[in-house]
Structures are given as C-alpha cells and as structure tokens.
Amino acid sequence: MNTFYLWTIGCQMNTADSDRLAAALEQMGMAPVEKAAEADVIVLNSCVVRQGAEDKVVGNLGWMAPLKKEQPDRILALMGCMVGPKSDDLARRFPYVDVFMRPQEFEPLLEKVGERMGVDWEGCVGPLTPVRPDVTCHVPIIHGCDLMCTFCIIPYRRGRQVSRPVAEVAQEVEILASRGVKEVTLLGQTVDAYGHDLPDTPSLADLFTRLNDIDGIERIRFLTSHPKFMTQEIVQAVADLPKVCEHINLPVQAGDDGILDEMRRQYSRRDYIELVGRIRETMPEVAINTDIIVGFPGETEEQFQQTLDLLAELRLDKVHCAAYSTRPGTIASRTMEDAVPDSEKTSRRQRVDKLQEQIQTEMNAELVGSYEEILVEGRQRGKWQGRTRSNKLVFFEDEAYHLGNLVTVKIERSSPWSLQGTLAVEAKFSAS
C-alpha cells in the first residue's frame, strides 16, 4: 500500500477537499502517482451539479472496474457530491467500489488504508494542509449551506453550514505562508455567511482582519458570496484591508423577480442593483463577477430579456452562464417541469455570452496603458502569467525568474479574456 491516484471534477471546494485528502495520505507515507493503473488506492472525487459532470464520473467508474479486477486488493473509493447520506443505491450500481465518502468525510478511507498498512491513521495524520501548495491556495472556511435554492443539490450533499473557527483557519494560513503560498482564496458556498453558526459569531470581516496580519501572505480572495449576506461591514473590510483583493463573486442567477422567487434566492432585482451600487460606491475599482442560469423552468422570453437588460445595465466584470438542467433530488426537480427546450436554452446562453464578450472587450481595452500589480502564478508558452487584484489574467515576457513575486506590468494589449503587457522597470510591489 504505497501509492495513490486522485481524480477530481467540479468546483474549487472539491479541489480543496482532494488536496486535503492527499495531505492525509502523504502523512501516512503514501506517494501520489499520475496514472490510476499504477496506484494501490484510487479515489474519484465527484460532482453532480451538472449532468455532464456526473456522466464523466460514471464513465470513469466504468473504466476503473477492470483495474479493480486485475488487482483485487487495490482500494477504490468514490468521494464527493455524488455520495448522499445513503449509499445503498451506489453500492448496488458499483459493487466493486470499496468506500463511499460524502464531501470532507475522509475517515472511512483513512481507516481502511490504515488497516491495510497496519498503522493507526489518527496517530499519523495531523492538520490537513496541502504539503506542496502552489503560490495560490484554496482554504475552505465553511462546509455546507443553509439556503435551499430550488435548483441546487449542494445542501443535500454537503449538509448545513459549518464554519471553521477563526483560530483554526489562521493556523492553516500561517502554515501555508511558511510553505511559500502568497495568495489564499477563502472558500464557502455562501462565504459571506461565515461565522453565523459559530458561538461568538465572528464575521467574514473579522476573519479578514486576522488573516491580513499574517506575514508572507500578500493577497486574500474569497468566494462565493450570496447577495443576502453581503453586509456593509464586509464591503468596508475589503476596501480597507490592504491584502484583501477588490474582487467579489456575487451570483445573481436571473434578472427577473418572478424567476428569482421561483429559485428562492431571497433577494429581488432591485436589491441586487442596489447592492452592486453600494459596493461600487465604497470601492470604485472593484471587480464583480456573477453567475447566471438560463432556461430555468417556465422562464419566458420576456423574463430572459430582464436578465440580459440587467447585465447590460450593470456591466459586470465576468459572467459564468449555464443552461438549466434538472438535478434529481432538488426542489425544482420535484415541483417544476423543465419546459424550456434545449435549443432555446443554448440560444439564451449564447446571447448572454455574446453580450458579455462585448462588455469585457470594452472594459479590458480601457486598461491598456495602465500599470497593474500582478502576482506571478506560473509560466505558459514561454510567458509569465499572473492576475491583477481584480482577478484579470495577465501575460508578460521576461527572462528573469518571477514565480511568486508581485510585479508591476504595463498593459499593452487586451482581449475579452486576458491582458498582455511588459514588466515595468520600476517594480513597485516586488515581494521580499
């Protein structure tokens, strides 16, 4: 029992869960491998938010069956949102899978691996902090969600909101800083509801203030926010604390009040417009991203037009648009008919994408000639790549080594998706 292979699909929360499981297995003395066929332990970390993701998991489970047959003592585990409170049905469909684990429930696998290795896993596994993190790293601060949006399966799979205490998150970020991490992204399904469930109800702003003091960390990001929980205290903390980036992911999902009600989003179109106005008034340089679902059950052309009008009016920095698909187990799947034809959903998604491409073309063109602070995250096709504080992707060429540095880049060219520039001679923000 020496090697493991981890395959992950889905959101940043799943990636963070996989990093933590890998940290636990490495602390038990195992090494990661690139190919499932070379591994003693194979873990598939699943997602069911979209049908396409679930289909990929099922496909991978299919091609894992011969690997298990060829080496029966190999441990095969299915983790993540595909695993609900009861796994009987999954066990019937995939009898060759040894372990089913809900999100963040690593114990069943660690127990099994410990038994095979003849070690007490609890004795060797400490804090689940990634062992070899990149320059940027995700840190889950809330597990689960207390809301019940009618289209969403997450509360059923990840359970109710549980926030991690401030001291525990701060300790993890200090360890990450000592391992070379320069930027942390705090993760939660409703990250701005952080602390509401903790005894002394610290807020996300309180957590920002604590993390802002940690040496070595240059930037703090957070996602995903819910409009209902975005208080002025949080907005002001983003504006005031130098390490917290002026970048807010604030899904609106739809621009029509009737659809927002059907989705049970708990805010109106007017509430959202006012919130964006308040954030921009506090921080004119802020970047706001959003998510949209088109083709929600019963969405008429007029209602969809309300979404397009909202996006044209607000001119947000980035929009992630998805066509609605029914997820078994959700309120919408039980009570609403998925009546908008697929071709119409595709057409609406394309209209959102086209509008947003135009907006991003114009917004990014305005940055040409400006000087931007970039955290260098890596290299791609001979160029250094990093992000502005507002999370825009920037490329520049330079012979020197810059990984992990904060540098100043003069923006010279733009596209809807990225910016190109040259390193400014006076590197105003170089990290030590």
96 vs 156, beta carbon nearer ligand SF4: 156
Q: How far apart are CA 348 and CA 356, in angstroms?
A: 12
Task: State the nearest-atom distance from the C-beta of 201 to ligand SF4, in Å.
Answer: 19
How far is residue 114 from each of residues 2, 151, 184, 217, 413, measured CA to CA in Å?
12, 39, 31, 35, 54
Question: Is position 13 an interface residue for ligand SF4 (rule: CB under 6 A)?
Answer: no
Dihedral over Cα of 57, 60, 65, 68: its sign: negative
- What is the H or E stretch that residue 7 is in? strand 3-8
For ligand SF4, the binding residues in 175-234 under the rule CB under 6 A are 189-190, 226
Token pair for residue 281?
């008034």
Q: How far apart are CA 422 and CA 420, in angstroms?
A: 7
Task: State the nearest-atom distance from the C-beta of 161 to ligand SF4, in Å.
Answer: 9
225 vs 390, beta carbon nearer ligand SF4: 225
Token pair for residue 216?
């070595």
Task: State the nearest-atom distance from the C-beta of 93 to ligand SF4, in Å.
Answer: 25
Question: Is position 321 an interface residue for ligand SF4 (rule: CB under 6 A)?
Answer: no
Task: State the nearest-atom distance from the C-beta of 319 to ligand SF4, in Å.
Answer: 16
149 vs 359, beta carbon nearer ligand SF4: 149
Q: Are 217 and 139 in contact (CB under 8 A)?
A: no
Task: State the nearest-atom distance from the C-beta of 398 to ligand SF4, in Å.
Answer: 40
Q: How far apart are CA 32 and CA 3, in angstroms?
A: 6
CB-side neighbour CA atoms (13 Å) of 428: 8
289 vs 360, beta carbon nearer ligand SF4: 289
Task: State the nearest-atom distance from the C-beta of 248 to ligand SF4, in Å.
Answer: 15
For ligand SF4, the binding residues in 117-176 under the rule CB under 6 A are 145, 147-149, 152, 154-155
Q: How far apart are CA 303 and CA 297, in angstroms?
A: 11
114 vs 251, beta carbon nearer ligand SF4: 251
Residues near ligand SF4 (CB under 6 A) = 145, 147-149, 152, 154-155, 189-190, 226
